[in-house]
Amino acid sequence: MAARTSSSLGVGILVTVLGIATLGLFVTTVIMWSMASNARKQAADLEQGTVDFIRTEERGMDSVLRLKEPAKKARKSVVGYLVESQGNIMSKVTGSTTDSFDDIAKKFPDMTSPNLVAQVRDYKNEISRLTGQVKDANDAKNRAVQDKENEAKRVQSIDNQMKTTVAALNAQLDVYKTEVDTLRSSINEYKAKADEQVQKVRDTASSTEAQLTSDIDKQQRESVLNRGLIQKLQEELKGKRFTGQNEFALVDAEIIGLNSADGTATINIGRKSKLTLGMTFAVYSEATAIRPDEKTGEYPEGKAAVEVVKVDEDTSTIRIIREKRGNPVVRGDVLANAVYDPRKTYAFVVYGNFDSNRDGRSTQQEQSDFRARIVSWGGKVLDDLTGEVDFLVLGERPVLPPEPAGTAPVEVVDEWLRLQRAARKYDELFKKATETSIPVLNQNRLDTLIGNPS
């Protein structure tokens, strides 16, 4: 019985222990379940809180993972690191760590670039450009200031020079004024003497005029008597007067022999007749052929032109230098040269522009060639028409250009005045020669009459 009792007691204790253990386990289970439930709730709350800061799918993003290392070095969480970094960025961008990115848009409403770095770069470029413009403007201003200072110095220098010049001119004017006063005094004295002389001349002229008036009256009476006498003599000499040939139509020589083999001929004048080598003559069939055309006034061209190549005492040899076809030079033909005459020295006036070298251009300088040719053949050249002149040789009239303007150079005006004087003298010579019946020859007429070949 005792054994059973011990066993029963042991079983009872065991049951009790098991009951207590079961109860403890139950209590522990309840406690653990309650704790697990709280943990799950806390985990859910924590998960929800974490999602507010970072979502599950964002945790694995490369950009988030790259922040872990710098955040760990800074001993901060990624969020803390990001918050601190954003504050630093905002401090540098807007000056306030509490600003957000929306605040940036509000504070920079005129942004033209997609990001602040690009915008800052644009601003820097604009600032650089404006800085360059400011520098250029400052440089230009400095140059302008320097130019102004230089110009002021130059103007001051000119002003000083002008003052010096004005002072010198004033001094010179004082000298001139003194000289003018002296000259005026001398002129007044001279005028008084001149007036006295003029009065004497007037008195003498009045006396002379009275005497000349008396002489004119006497001459007029004698002139009336002489005209009556001349008219009476003209009536008596009608049909008896002799009119000689014009001097330029007189025959100078005659061909007395021919040598057809070498184109030469012999004429009947030589050294005794003052013939010179190189002189040319026009050849005519007879003396009456040397007569101007009544309509044109032109002289006929000779049938030939010859040149003296040898001079003997009484005869000379000539070379035929031009001959008309079908009208050869023959014995008995006569020679004429307007310049040559063994018994007289002809006087010429040569004026105008000539073409001595046959280049088609007539110039005043070539006039000297004709003067020299006339002198070499025994003629005399004068500068103006007088009673001694036998011929007037006129070249082409000087061409007078349009009158220059008042602003033209002095050289141009002087040249125009010279040509005007030359043209006026040309017209005066022609008019005077025509009025006094002096023969007028142009270059062609002179060449024709002296046998100068063209």
- Domain residue spans of the chain: 2-50, 62-109, 114-233, 249-337, 342-444
Tell me which of 3.40.50.720, 3.40.50.10190, 3.20.20.150, 3.40.50.1220 is the CATH number of domain 342-444. Answer: 3.40.50.10190
pLDDT tens string 377-396: 778 899 888 888 888 999 89
- Res 42: pLDDT: 79
- Res 266: pLDDT: 94
**Rounded Cα distance, 430 and 448, in Å:** 20
**Rounded Cα distance, 301 and 74, in Å:** 133
pLDDT tens string 391-419: 899 989 988 888 888 788 888 888 889 98
pLDDT tens string 171-181: 887 887 888 78
**Rounded Cα distance, 105 and 93, in Å:** 11
- Res 247: pLDDT: 47
Q: Which amino acid makes up residue 72?
A: K
Q: With contact defined as beta carbons under 8 Å apart, do 268 and 256 qualify?
A: yes
- Res 310: pLDDT: 92
Let me know if the fold of 249-337 is the same as that of 342-444.
Answer: no
pTM above 0.75, yes or no: no
pLDDT tens string 211-236: 777 777 666 666 666 666 656 665 66
CATH number at 249-337: 2.40.30
- Res 241: pLDDT: 42
Q: Which residues of the chain register pLDDT less than 70?
A: 1-6, 47-53, 58, 101, 110-114, 116, 190, 194, 198, 201, 205, 217-250, 293-294, 296-299, 449, 451-454
- Res 51: pLDDT: 67
- Res 244: pLDDT: 42
